[in-house]
Every structure is written in C-alpha cells, then in structure tokens.
Structure 1
Amino acid sequence: MAGHSQFKNIMHRKGAQDARRAKEFSKIIREITVSAKSGLPDPAANPRLRAAIAAARAVNMPKDNIDRAIKKAAGGADGDNYQEVRYEGYGPSGVAIIVEALTDNRNRTASDVRAAFNKYGGSLGEMNSVAFMFERMGVITYTKTVANFDSIFEAAIEAEADNVEENDDVYEITCAMENFFAVRDALEARFKDPESAKIEWRPSNTVALDEDNARTLLKLIEVLEDHDDVQNVFANFDLSDEIAERLSA
C-alpha cells in the first residue's frame, strides 16, 4: 500500500528508533500472547503464533522474551484478556483509515482513537464504513539478498501466490488472505524466515494529498500507531516523491 509504506519510510528517516522499537516489542508480545491463547501454544500447530514469532524475529526480539510470552499465555495469566477490535473512519481530505487493536478495555481504546481522529481533522465512523474500499490480503517480503527474482517468483507462484513485485530492496509477494499461511510456510521452507509476513488491508484506490493535509494525516497516523493498544493502521493515501522528501527532512 503506497500510503502505508510511505509513512513507514518517512518515520524511519525521522529517527527515534529506540523508542519505536520498544513500542514495537510491546505490540508483538501482545500479539504472541493473543495468538498463543487463541490456539495451541505450539507454533508448529498454530499458524497465527508462527506468524507472530516470525514478526518478533524480524525485529531481533530476544528468544527469551518470545518464550516468556508464550509460557505466560499458556499458563492463563490474569490481566491479559485482550480483545481484537477494529475502528474505521476518515482523515483529512477524506482519506479512509482502518485501525486494528488488541485491548483489555474497549471503552478506553475507542475513546482514545476517537479523540485522535477528532484532533487531526478526521471522524471515526461505524464498522465497515470504509472497509469496502480495501481488500484483505497476505503480504510477505524477502530481502533481495535471499535469492534472485526468478527463484522467488517461481516459488511464490507454485505456492499459489497472486503476485510478486520488486520494491526498493525487497521482493513483495501478495496472496489471497485464505492462502496466506500456506504461501508463507512454503516460502519459509525454501528461503527461511521472511523479512515480514502479515495480513494487510490494501486500498482499491488512493487519495493524493497536498503537503499540509499530508502533514496532518501523518501526525494522526503517528499518534494512532503510538497508542499501546493499536497494532496496525492502514490508510488509502498517496504522496508525490517531492512531498514525501520534504516531510521526511
């Protein structure tokens, strides 16, 4: 997704990576906990847990942290009863936004998300108010150091992926949501752990933004992503290279 990847690139260039990594660790630990509780605490028998562990490895999370989270979930520790919730709404210039969260207090999270939308010129909508503008799909990435394009493409198509593209320093493999775990496992067996492997919301079309609205929207997304309960934010915006460069300066 153009907007999502552009936001990540801009925030990466802005720095403050240590604080962001600590926040990322916390969110992944929460996903590991929910994944382990929603199925067996054995990654071999729980595809969602395997995906969470892969995400943890991708950001170099220590193995002890991963193991502790799984054991804690398997032990049924109190205080970790998270619910999966989704919020949808509009940002500046009518940009559609989807927010995925894991929360132990739905009222608190809903109130915080609504306040963020209101502060930055957006409005929180009802469930499915913008989801129809997106498609749910699996997205798997590998760095180009893993193999050449032909090898990745052949393996992906054999695994019933839909498409393979080269983006910057990575190959991006996309597939239908229902094929995600099968495609990911087939590629893992051949090329080891991917750089990332997630189910994402991809927009059917995007909204081009001027610099002022882009700045406001990116601040909204930043505030949402910094919230402890928020796992993912997706939006259907696009920026010109010139505006993206200015915002990341």
Structure 2
Amino acid sequence: MNKVVLTGGSSGIGKEINVFLLEKGYEVLFTYCHSAESAKEIEAQFMNAKAFQIDFTSADQMKAFCAEIRAFDPDILINNYYNGTFIDTYFHKTEAEKFLNDFKNNVMPTLQVTQECINLFRKKKLGRIINILSSSLNSPAMGTSVYNSNKAYLLQMSKSWAIENVKFGITCNSVSPSFIPTDFHKNMDERVKETILAGYPLKDNLESKDISNVIDLCINGGKHFNGNHIFLDASHY
C-alpha cells in the first residue's frame, strides 16, 4: 500500500501528515482550496506529490475529483478536510441554516469521497480509511456545536465503514488529536488558547510527529487494527 488520497493536505495538520507520508515514500494525491502557494511548494519539493484544487461545494468539481481518484487508484484514504470554524457561537444563537450548510459543505463531500475509495478498495480487497476528528468530541468548548456535530456524524459513520468492509481487507480508524494551533484556529481569542493549554496535563501542544506516528499505525497496524477511535490527549479525558 503506497498510494494515498488526503483531503485538505496543504495546511495545518493535513500538511504535516502530507509531508510525513511523502518523506516515507508514499504517493499522495492531496486536495487544497485556497492554499495554492503551499500546495505548489509541496509539489516542487516532492516528486511523489500531486495537488488537486477543489471547492468541495461544487458538484462539477466533486465529479472531476472522483474521476481523478479512480485514475489514481489509491490504497489509503485520509479524511482531513474541514471547511468552517472551530468556535462559532452558542447553540441557541445558531441559525438552523448554519447547521445544514456546514453539513452539506463538510460531511457530504467526505461521504462521497469515501464511497468512491471504498468501491476501489473492495475490488482489490485491500484498503485503509483514516478519519481525522477532534478530542473536542469528548470535551467540547462553548460555541463548537456545529463543528462537533459534523465530527460526531463522521465518527458514527466510520464505525459502519469498519464493520461493513473489514472482510474485504479494508480497515477504518479515527484519530482525535487534542488542540494544536494551526491556521484553522487563527481567529480564536488567545485567552481561549491559553485556557485550553492550561487544562492540558502536559501543558504543551501536540507536535506533528505525535499525529504522524498514529497515522503510521493506522496504515500498518494490520487487518485486526480496525474500528478504533484513538484520542491523542495525554489521557486528559
């Protein structure tokens, strides 16, 4: 297994995972939307990297990406893409349309990409699905109801992917990192960041290698390593 589809691979956690895999020699087809400069830098540095610009809310672009996936014929799928904010507003102040739009923009594309990959994996009777979620699922911050509901939906869905496909040599595992400052959190109040870090037992942020080591386990852990939800949170929860 050496061909990876990685959604959201040009910034934040996705970029760290991307570089880790590329340095290991994997071929990676990764998506980006706005981080064109970063994506081009990755492609220039690694001959085994292939960037694909996509707006996941566009039906035409989704169709083109699914065709690209079929041509690439991956062995591994890492669902990391998320378009939105971590902290927004309180649940009772959130418009119903906000929940619906974020579901359409995040969950539905992930389901479509995963369906595409599972169909390919089943034919070759081999595959790995890895979902990047969040430790916020266990200890949600105020104002994260939209973000957490989307991640929770994918967690429940991944349990079905694990049980339905394991007999075809396909495993599905989810990874929930604790808070790690990235561009995704650039608009977050610094006091909130300090509060989160103060409550963390190691008093230190996760490093990219911490996440990459677990990704490696999910890929190479064998056919019995399936259906797991791994929290990278120093046993805080």
Query: TM-score with structure 1 length normalisation?
Result: 0.26
Higher normalized strand content (fraction of residues): 1
Question: Which of the pair has the greater relative contact order for Cα pairs under 8 Å at 6+ separation?
Answer: 1
Larger radius of gyration: 1
Query: TM-score with structure 2 length normalisation?
Result: 0.27
